[in-house]
């Protein structure tokens, strides 16, 4: 869907990018045990600050050439 929308809106200079974070450290995820974390390549969950920072970058002019990407 991201690719299709990106192609449709590119002529109007509208970028379509999907932000699909994996496991994110929140209160709800406090019950996760180490065996779950061991299956994550970095052995840790993302923080909400990291997700927000990525979203801010993707929405900025600095990411102006990114199109139809999944992050």
For 9-68, the pLDDT digits (tens) are: 999 999 999 999 989 999 998 888 889 999 999 999 999 999 999 999 999 999 988 877
- In which residue are the tokens 């209160």 written? 27
Radius of gyration of the chain (CA): 15
Domain span at residue 10 reads 2-63
The verdict on residue 71 lying in a domain is no
**CA atoms lying within 13 Å on the CB side of residue 63:** 19
For residue 68, being part of any structural domain is answered with no
Candidates 63, 65, 70, 67; CA nearest to 6 is: 67
Q: What is the model's pLDDT at position 34?
A: 87
Q: How many domains, in total, are found in the chain?
A: 1
Could you tell me if residue 55 is inside a domain? yes
């Amino acid at each position: 869907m991201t690719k299709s929308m990106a192609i449709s809106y590119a002529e109007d200079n509208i970028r379509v990018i999907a932000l699909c974070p994996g496991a994110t450290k929140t209160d709800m995820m406090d019950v996760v045990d180490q065996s779950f974390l061991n299956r994550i390549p970095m052995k840790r969950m993302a923080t909400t600050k990291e997700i927000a920072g990525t979203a801010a970058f993707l929405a900025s002019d600095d990411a102006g050439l990114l199109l139809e990407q999944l992050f």
